[in-house]
C-alpha cells in the first residue's frame, strides 16, 4: 500500500528513503546497490523495500465518497 514510516521489525525510520530508492531504480541501478547507498543494512528493512508494492493510488480510486 504505502511504505511504512518505520521498519516493523527493528523500528528504523525508512519511509523517507523510499522516494530516493524508486528514483535510483528508475536510473537502472540494482536494488542492492541503492539500499547499500541509502544505508539500509538489516535484512528486515531490505525485505521491506524489496517486497513493497505501491498500491495507494490504485486503492484511493475505490474510496467511499
Ligand atoms: Zn529493520
Give residue-wise pLDDT tens across range 25-42. 999 999 999 999 999 999
Q: Which three cell numbers stand for residue 2?
A: 504505502
What is this structure's pTM? Answer: 0.83
Least confident range from 2-6, 15-19, 34-38, 59-63: namely 59-63
Question: How far, in Å, is the centroid of ligand 1 from the Cα of 57?
Answer: 25
- Kindly tell me if the per-residue pLDDT of 65 is higher than 70: no
Q: Is 30 exposed, middle or buried (0-12, 13-18, 19+ CB in 10 A)?
A: exposed
For residue 43, the CA-to-ligand 1 centroid distance in Å is: 7
pLDDT tens sequence across 38-61: 999 999 999 999 999 999 889 889
- Taking the centre of ligand 1 as the mean of its atom positions, its distance from the CA of residue 60, in whole angstroms, is 27
Q: Cα(48) to centroid of ligand 1, in Å?
A: 8
Strand partners, 6: 13
Amino acid at each position: 500500500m504505502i511504505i511504512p514510516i518505520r521498519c516493523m521489525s527493528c523500528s528504523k525510520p525508512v519511509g523517507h528513503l523510499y522516494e530516493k530508492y524508486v528514483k535510483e531504480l528508475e536510473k537502472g541501478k540494482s536494488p542492492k546497490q541503492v539500499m547499500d547507498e541509502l544505508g539500509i543494512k538489516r535484512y528486515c528493512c531490505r525485505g521491506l523495500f524489496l517486497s513493497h508494492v505501491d498500491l495507494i493510488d490504485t486503492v484511493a480510486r475505490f474510496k467511499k465518497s
